[in-house]
Amino acid sequence: MADCGEPDGPDNKDNITRSKNEGKELTKEEKQRLRKQKKQQKKQKERKDEKGPSETEKEKTPVSLLPPRPVATQKAPSALPAPASAPIPVPASAPFHSSPTPSPADKPAKSKAELKAERRARQETDRASKQPGSSSSSIKTKAPLSELNPVVKRLPEHVQVDDPAVVKRLAKKLERQQIPLRSDYGYKVSLFSHLHQYSRKAPLTQQLSIPSTVIHPSIVRLGLQYSQGIVAGSNARSVALLHAFKQVIRDYTTPPNEELSRDLVNKLKPYISFLNQCRPLSASMGNAIKYIKKEISNIPSQCKEEEAKTKLLQCIDRYIEEKIVLAAKAISKYAIEKISDGDIILVYGCSSLVNHILCEAFEKSRKFRVIVVDSRPRLEGREALRRLVQRGISCTYVLISALSYILPEVSKVFLGAHALLANGYVMSRVGTSQIALVARTFNVPVLVCCETYKFCERVQTDSFVSNELDDPDDLMVTRKGKTQLENWQDVSSLGLLNLVYDVTPPDFVDLVITDLGMIPCTSVPVVLRVKNLDQ
C-alpha cells in the first residue's frame, strides 16, 4: 500500500487538505496514508543525517519499515510500563487536528494520536539503528512524561465482562497463547454483571492438556494454588509469584537469533494471562510484574545468558528483601510506637503485616489484648487467632455482626490493606469499610498498615466498578441440619453475592503506616509521584 501511496503523494495531500478545509471527516484509507507519509518523512530526515544510502535502499526502507511496524505495536506494551500508557492502535475515528505536513510551527497542541506516532517512530529509529549492528546507541531512556500529559489507559479486561466484543478479544488472545478460557459460573447479580464469577470446583488446570508445552509447571502449580485459595493474601501471593518466576528464569534458555531481554518478556506474557484467568491479579502482583519486566528489558544485549540470569535472580531477591521483608520491619518499628500498655487492639481477618506487628510488639513486652473480628464466608480470622494465641497473646473472637457490642471496649483498630489507591481510598478485604465506619462512630482511631509496593495509580470511589466475585456456593451453610440455600440455582430470582474486596473512604482512616513513615491517607499520590521519579 505504501508503494501505491508514494507516487501519488503530493496529489493525495492536496485532496486531503481540501477535504480537511471543507470540514469533512477523513476516510480510513486517507488516514492510514497520512500516517505512513509522516513516518516516511521522519525516515527521510534521519536518513539525511546518516550519510548517503543508495537509491535502492531508499526504495527498500519504506517496505522494510512495514513488517517491523506490527512488531512494534506488540513490543511497545512491553517496553513501556504496562498498562498505564499502553498505546492503543490509532483509532480510525480519531480526528486529525493538524495539517498533514508536520511542521512544529503549525501545530500548537499535539493530538494523542500524533504523540503515539512520534513515539513509535522514535522506537523504530532505535531498532533501525540497532539492526545494522551499530553498537553505539544504548537503549534510549524514555523521556520522562510530565504529569500533565494525557495518559490513555486501557480498561482491564476483567471489568468488562458484559461487553461481548471484549470477551471475544480475550478469547482470541488466549487461543493465540494456547491457554484455556475459564467460564463463568452461576447466576450473576445484575449489579455485578461486568465482573467474572468462577466456581472453585472447576479449576482452570482441568482444561489443560498434559504435557502442556506453553506454560511452565511451576506456574501451573501456582495458578492452581491461587484459584483454590491455598495461597491467599497479597504479600503471600506476590512472594509466591516471584519465586515461581525465579524458577522460570532458571529453566530458561535463549533460543537462537533471539535476545534474552525481549524473548523472556514474551515468554512471561502467556504465564501472566494464565494466572489472571486463575485469579485476577492483585495490585501488588501487578507492581511486581512491572518491576520484573523493566529489569528484563534493561539487560544490555551483549550480556551473556548466565550472567543475565544470575543478575535477574538477584534483582528478584533484592525486591522481595527490600519491599516486603525490610518494609515489614520498618512498619513494625513505627507501629510499635503507637501501641501502649493496656491497649485493646481490634484486628480484622488475617493480615500478615498486622500479625507481624502484634507479635513484634508482644516480644518487646508491651501489654495489650487483641480482639479478632471475623466474617463469613472466608473466616480468615481463625488463622490470625491461631497465630496470635500460639505466641501467647490473649485474644477475643467475635463475628463482624457483633461489632457494635465489642467496640466500646476497644482503644485502637489496626487494619491491613490489599492496595492503596491514588485518591486515598483503601482497598482491602470486604468488611474493612464497615469496621472503619463503626470505629469512627465510636471515636476509636483506625490505623492502616501497608507497604509502599502496594500503592497503585488507579482511582475508585465505590466497591462495584472493580472488584472480585468469589464462588457463590461458599455462602451456603448448614444450620440445625438444614441447608436453606442448597438449591439456589433452581430458583430463578435468587442470587448469591460473595464479594472479596471493598474500598474504604479516606475520612474513616486516621493514619497510614508505611515503610516511608506515617502518612495521612491523602498523601498517597505524593508517594506515588516520588516513586515514579526515582524510577
Partner 1 sequence: MPGADKETAITERIEAFLADLKRGGSGTGPLRGSGEMARETTYLLRRITAQARWSSAGDLMEIIRNEGRRMTAAQPSETTVGNMVRRVLKIIREEYARSRGSSEETEQQESLHKLLTSGGLSEENFRQQFVHLKANVIEAINELLTELDGTTDNIAMQALEHIHSNEVIMTVGRSRTVEAFLKDAARKRKFHVIVAECAPFCQGHEMATGLSKAGIETTVIADAAIFAVMSRVNKVIIGTQTVLANGGLRAVNGAHSVALAARHHSTPLIICAPMFKLSPQFPNEEDTFHKFVSPHEMLPFTAGEILSKVNVHCPVFDYVPPELITLFISNIGGNAPSYIYRLMSELYHPEDHEL
Site for partner 1, rule CB under 8 A: 189, 191, 374-377, 382, 385-386, 389, 394-406, 429-431, 433-434, 437-438, 441, 462-464, 475, 477, 479, 484-485, 488, 491, 493-499, 502
Which 3 state secondary structure label does DSSP give 414? strand
Q: Nearer to partner 1 by C-beta: 72 or 347? A: 347
> Which residues, at least 6 apart from 307, have a Cβ–Cβ distance to it below 8 Å?
none
Q: Nearer to partner 1 by C-beta: 41 or 411? A: 411
> Which residues, at least 6 apart from 337, have a Cβ–Cβ distance to it below 8 Å?
none
The CB-of-470 to partner 1 minimum distance in angstroms stands at 10
CB 327 within 8 A of CB 352: no
In sequence order, what E strands does 264-380 have?
343-348, 368-374
Q: How far apart are CA 181 and CA 202, in angstroms?
A: 12
The CB-of-388 to partner 1 minimum distance in angstroms stands at 9
Q: Nearer to partner 1 by C-beta: 222 or 469? A: 469
CB 220 within 8 A of CB 208: yes
The CB-of-469 to partner 1 minimum distance in angstroms stands at 11
Q: What are phi and psi of 133, to 5 degrees?
A: 95, 15
C-alpha pair distances (Å), 175 with each of 170, 180, 246: 8, 7, 26
The CB-of-106 to partner 1 minimum distance in angstroms stands at 48
The CB-of-435 to partner 1 minimum distance in angstroms stands at 9
Q: Nearer to partner 1 by C-beta: 493 or 535? A: 493
Q: How far apart are CA 400 and CA 499, in angstroms?
A: 15
**Bond before 83 cis per omega within 30 degrees:** yes
Q: Nearer to partner 1 by C-beta: 1 or 402? A: 402
Q: Nearer to partner 1 by C-beta: 256 or 408? A: 408
Q: How far apart are CA 531 and CA 81, in angstroms?
A: 14
The CB-of-385 to partner 1 minimum distance in angstroms stands at 6
The CB-of-450 to partner 1 minimum distance in angstroms stands at 19
Q: Nearer to partner 1 by C-beta: 189 or 224? A: 189
Q: How many CA atoms lie within 13 A of 394 on its CB side?
A: 7
The CB-of-408 to partner 1 minimum distance in angstroms stands at 11
Q: Are strands 446-449 and 511-514 parallel, antiparallel or unpaired?
A: parallel
Q: Nearer to partner 1 by C-beta: 137 or 461? A: 461
**What b/e string do you get for 499-531 counting C-beta neighbours within 10 Å, with b at 16 or more?**
bbbbbbbbebbbbbbbbbeebebebbbebbeee
With left for phi above 0 and alpha for psi between -120 and 50, is residue 231 left, alpha or beta?
A: beta
> Which residues, at least 6 apart from 523, have a Cβ–Cβ distance to it below 8 Å?
512
> Which of these, 432, 357, 362, 363, lies nearest to 394 by C-alpha position?
362
Q: Nearer to partner 1 by C-beta: 88 or 398? A: 398
The CB-of-200 to partner 1 minimum distance in angstroms stands at 16
